[in-house]
Amino acid sequence: MLERNSAILSGQSYAKVVILGGTNDVLLGIKPEITVGNLEKIGLAVQRSGAEPVLCEIPPIFHSFNPGDKKNYSNDVRNLNQQIARLAAEHRWKLADYYDPLLRHPHLSSDGVHIKRTGYLLMEIALLRVVPDA
């Protein structure tokens, strides 16, 4: 995401940019500090472009879509989300909670990671709570 960010922002005049990242990092075992550092770089680049960054907590990972992976990712996801929330507070960026609305709904995931259409509706509602004009 970090590498693609400048190309996405270049020449655009977005009012707001919604930043959702970290699920793959959790699955790959990347340290949350690295993920949050990259999210901060993206958010600051969004600000420099004149847009408002909106950070998002990642949805729950119910299980890896890799059949051999039996790891429980709940603590890793909660830890990353706490750090994302601190980052948003530190910069006074808006924060959308995609974790809590989906937590008790594993049936809204097609494979434990990827969200189905109804899950995206819950995510949109969560986003509209913090960015009503999105």
Mean pLDDT of all residues in 38-55: 95
Range of the domain at 47: 2-130
- Confidence band, pLDDT 50/70/90 cuts, at residue 6: low
Number of domains in the chain: 1
Buried b or exposed e, range 34-69, using 16+ CB within 10 angstroms:
ebbebbbebbebbeebebebbbbbbbbbbbbeeeee
- Confidence band, pLDDT 50/70/90 cuts, at residue 70: confident
Mean pLDDT of all residues in 50-68: 90
Mean pLDDT of all residues in 18-28: 96
Determine the pLDDT at residue 34: 97
CATH number at residue 86: 3.40.50.1110
Determine the pLDDT at residue 35: 97
Mean pLDDT of all residues in 37-58: 95
Q: Mean of the per-residue pLDDT values for the chain?
A: 92
Worst-scoring range by mean pLDDT, 46-50, 62-66, 80-84, 99-103? 62-66
Tell me the pTM: 0.91
Mean pLDDT of all residues in 36-45: 96
